[in-house]
Amino acid sequence: MENSDKTPISSSSSPRPSAEEPEPKKVKMSTTTSDDEQCTTAEGTKIRYKRRKVAIFFAYCGVGYQGMQKNPGAKTIEGELEEALYVSGAVPEQDRGLSKRYDWARSARTDKGVSAVGQVVSGRFYIDPPGFVERLNSNLPSQIRIFGFKRVTASFSAKKFCDRRRYVYLIPVFALDPCCHRDRETVLASLGSENELVKCLECSERGRKVEGLVGNSKRNLEIETVNVETNGLSDRNVVVNSGVTENVDVSLSNKGENGLNQESINVGEGKVLVEEVNSKNGLESVVSAQDVVVPSNGGSENNSGALEEEKVNGEDTPAKKSVFTYGEKERERFNKILKYYVGTHNFHNFTTRIKPEDPSAHRFIISFDASTTVVVDGMEFVKCEIVGQSFMLHQIRKMMGLAVAIMRNCAPESLIDKALQKDVSITVPTAPEVGLYLDECFFTSYNQKWKDTHEEVSMKAYEKEAEEFKMKYIYSHIASTEHKEGTVGLWLHSLNHRNYADLRILDEEGVMNDKKSEFEVVAE
């Protein structure tokens, strides 16, 4: 019986692969072409190449560009790339400028000035003869680099098949310190102009007047205007964006040619009662450095501990000497704030032109972490990594803006929960675009489904080149911009209740709690 069982197998003239051991399929590689394309019949015979569906991996520094998506009349990354594809022979003349004809799709749309390291686009292109990547790079500016491409299925779409996207925002460590601001020459250059920047208590060369960064105009006018009586102080309530935990004496003087009332610290003129606000913030946007005076009534210069602390944290102590560090306590608090965003929420307050009832306002955030720091050109940054399925216009920048405002004690943590509610409408600060970049796009489901026949669509093969580009163009640009222009430092002065009245503490009904956001001026 054993011999008879073996006979049919050994005597088979045309063996076939068994069901248990199927013949492996040939993976469609990005560097190979089909046999008919490689063969030539005679010298001078024209070779007819076929279009191939591919996913192209590239990076760019967004400075000088109006975002990723092509926009008529605007300089965009997509416009540069489409033209390079045509010049390189990947797109025929009849399809030039008509991206739909070659199934163009992008994984993510970045805003104006935002960079990317792991951006992906897909389409049907002529990728032969060899040297497709080199031809593309030769027709692109140095701040846009093509890493490579992968052969994909005919139905592949870089937009539809992207499961999730990871962005990174580099925020300077000093931005999380309520007492720290960096110097900026723009404040000095503005002296004598109509847009003169007013010196603040904490930093003698930093301004607080930022045009265009305002919240509710009606409330701003009420907050910004301070009534001063010629024979003393009025007993009306005055709102400030930051204060101290102890009572300090204050006198008001109507200074400045622009009609803006300024306050100066003075003993014996009046009392200021401040409740439940952080002492480290000082009187940044209300008290100007040049208005700090020595008491003329013979009183002590160090009348209170609060006044002494303000002086130490003021212009006498440069911002660069701040003892603030992103230690374990600060890291834990910042990550706790960012965790409020994780999950599915209504982010209508974190974008523009999206109504609360619009289904697109609901987005799913997978993770938001700020556990690591990087040092670039002598400046330390917190690396904030956020992973989500998709993001709306300005969403990440607004999420960062509110998180930083909370870290600087300009708003309570509970405000995030309020901002994520459908029936609440508030103005959220928008962090500068310079620190944001797209880090990587993921295609997990696609790779799992087609792993036996197609290459993995991922950045693994280009990690080294991506890291080099990141350090040379993106990180260096972020650091140099802050060193030269003080973009984040100037933005920090807009994080106050004069510009964003909604940052003040809200009660359970979503209305302003005057007891916690105003102080009383009592005349003696």
Q: Which residues are annotated as a binding site?
A: 167
User: What is the C-alpha separation between 442 and 437, in angstroms, rounded?
Assistant: 15
The DSSP bridge partners found for residue 380 are: 375
Query: How wide is the angle at C-alpha 97 spanned by C-alphas 61 and 459, nearest 5°?
Result: 40
Residues 6 or more apart whose CB falls under 8 angstroms from that of 301 comprise 294, 295
The DSSP bridge partners found for residue 345 are: 363
Query: Quick check: 209 and 195 in contact, CB under 8 A?
Result: yes
**111 is an active site residue:** yes
Q: At what angle do helices 395-407 and 328-338 cross, to 10 degrees?
A: 140
Q: How far is residue 334 CA from its own chain's centroid?
A: 15
Catalytic residue among 5, 36, 95, 111: 111
Known binding-site residues for substrate equal 167
In the block, residue with structure tokens 């990871």: 166
Give the pair of three-digit tokens for residue 19. 């069901």
Give the pair of three-digit tokens for residue 285. 């946007």
User: What is the C-alpha separation between 244 and 168, in angstroms, rounded?
Assistant: 34
Query: Quick check: 261 and 221 in contact, CB under 8 A?
Result: no
59-79: burial string, b at 16+ Cβ within 10 Å, e else:
bbbbbebbbbebeeeeebbbb
Element of type H or E holding 127:
none
Residues 6 or more apart whose CB falls under 8 angstroms from that of 297 comprise 267, 268
Residue type, 371: S
User: What is the C-alpha separation between 184 and 206, in angstroms, rounded?
Assistant: 6
Query: How wide is the angle at C-alpha 434 spanned by C-alphas 57 and 369, nearest 5°?
Result: 75
Q: Which residues are catalytic?
A: 111
